[in-house]
Amino acid sequence: MSNLIEKGKKASAYQAVDENIDHSTKIIGIGSGTTIVYAVERLAERVKQENLDIQCVPSSFQAKQLLAKNNLKITDLETFTSIDVTIDGADEVDKNLVCIKGGGGCHLQEKLIAYCAKKFILIADYRKKSTELGQSWHNGIPIEVLPSAYRLVKENIEKLYGGNAKLREFTGSTLGKAGPIITDNGNFILDWIFEIKDDNSGYDWNTINTNIKMIPGVIETGLFIDMAKVAYFGNADGTVTKLNKCLRC
């Protein structure tokens, strides 16, 4: 990964932590992926320096390991159903802060901690900022499905909206596993590659999300609509572009 991208990820994560976490923050939701690594790094630094009294709710096995490695206190949604701030990465974010998540297959638990958060914050490098979804992210919308229902979900999504809903499989060239990727929750993932409209007019993601969720066997989509309050995009020069939810839109 290029140094400029890493610089962008780090800048967005550090600024988000610095602007949104203070002594009044007690419970923090921690997303998954590569950008969140920098947020946890900064959080650990600040806990040490400022003696912050926080507990973190991880969104995946990876996030839990990351928190443990950084000596941060771990809790869960059975203990707390209200989170002060959740910070998470994204695969693509549009102009209305609608985003695609789940490139790492963790969007089900990520959606839980986003939903429970008083403030949900996105952190990402500059490549993730788009006007309409699908402009920069070409791997589709991840949909976690019950394994036995993957074909019926695939066929019904394609019948409703076209495109191609592909079963996510391991494609690495080294050691791995033959067949589908299994999520932390024991399910499969379909990546729905939707067609981009010629006039670039975009989609009604709310309706699409609701209709996909109505298909039996769908557990959760990677579409996060009306959830994020702010997105921090780290630029290659280390500056950060902030996009706030427009309250009048």
Ligand X SMILES: O=C[C@H](O)[C@H](O)[C@H](O)COP(=O)(O)O
Question: Would you count residue 32 as binding ligand X (CB under 6 A)?
Answer: yes
Q: How far apart are CA 44 and CA 46, in angstroms?
A: 5
Q: Which is nearer to ligand X, 105 or 134 (CB)?
A: 105
Stretch that binds ligand X, among 14-22, 27-35, 111-119, 167-175 (CB under 6 A): 27-35
Single residue of 29, 102, 134, 234 touching ligand X by CB under 6 A: 102
103 binds ligand X (CB under 6 A): yes
Contacting ligand X (CB under 6 A), which of 107, 111, 154, 168? 107
* Cα→Cα distances 100→8, 54, 136, 232, Å: 19, 28, 11, 15
Examine residue 29 and tell whether it contacts ligand X (CB under 6 A).
Answer: no
Q: For residue 174, what are its two tokens?
A: 């080294």
- Distance of alpha carbon 210 from alpha carbon 151, whole angstroms: 19
Catalytic pick among 6, 50, 110, 169: 110
- Residues 84 and 25: their CA atoms lie apart, in Å, by 6
Residue 101 found at the interface with ligand X (CB under 6 A): yes
Cα–Cα–Cα angle for 68, 221, 147, nearest 5°?
85
For ligand X, which stretch binds (CB under 6 A), given 25-33, 44-52, 168-176, 190-198? 25-33
Cβ 102 to ligand X shortest distance, Å: 5
Q: Please compute, for residue 20, the number of CA atoms within 13 A of its CA located in the half-sphere on the CB side.
A: 30
* Residue 64 near ligand X by CB under 6 A: no
Instruction: Give the active site residues.
Output: 110
